[in-house]
Amino acid sequence: MRVLLTLIFVVALLAGGVVIYAWSGHYNIAATQPHWFVSTSFIELLKDRSIAAHSQGIQVPNLKDPQYADAAFGHYHGMCRLCHGAPQVPPEKFAKGLYPSPPGMTDGHIQEEFGAGQLYWIAKHGLKMTGMPAFGPTHDEKQLWGLVAIVQQMPDMTADQYRQKIDAMNAHGATGHGHSNAETASDSHDHTEKE
């Protein structure tokens, strides 16, 4: 009984210390100050296990069917590339100030870390406190799976292929979110030429 009471006292003391520390305002919450190693490790574990657990059982359609990528390219170019980039199109400057940094989509790391079902879950539900929004409330299933298809294609896509997709999108009068056709095309060409 004494051991149990001691354990409860120690846990209460630690919890009280954490609350006092948080209340003191000493912790630097700025995006320019990285987390402590212990915090980063715990958050990464929490993120990876949560995504794995919540994405179990998701049925992945045939993402090689071009209807998916075609349905979502304007959305990727208009929104996702701003933070994640595209072939020879770097992320926008504001993305450098995000913490944690948004992963790039062209180097293959994100595709190695997460399967299609997990990428779908992330796109649909977003990730808390990362700047990654939930697209589920604003995008239909074909568009969500299309974003996954595009992300999976990114490591093998050339800058010319990406430009051709922009040109095809503009030819059909489609736009990325928040951009006119002219802005979308010229914006991408400008970034590519600066590389």
Please say if the pLDDT value at position 85 is more than 60: yes
Q: How far is CA 188 from the centre of its chain?
A: 20
Closest CA to 54 of 128, 155, 163: 128
Q: What is the 8-class DSSP label of residue 94? A: G
Cα–Cα distance between 97 and 115 in angstroms, integer?
A: 27
For residue 74, count other CB atoms closer than 10 A to its CB.
22
Region 152-157: mean pLDDT is 96
Side-chain half-sphere CA neighbours of 119 within 13 A: 24
pLDDT of residue 173: 74
pLDDT of residue 172: 80
pLDDT of residue 185: 39
Q: Nearest 5°: phi and psi at 39?
A: -65, -45
- What is the pTM for the complete model shown? 0.82
pLDDT of residue 177: 52
Split at pLDDT 50, 70, 90, the class of 183 is very low
Split at pLDDT 50, 70, 90, the class of 195 is very low
Cα–Cα distance between 89 and 76 in angstroms, integer?
A: 12
Region 36-61: mean pLDDT is 95
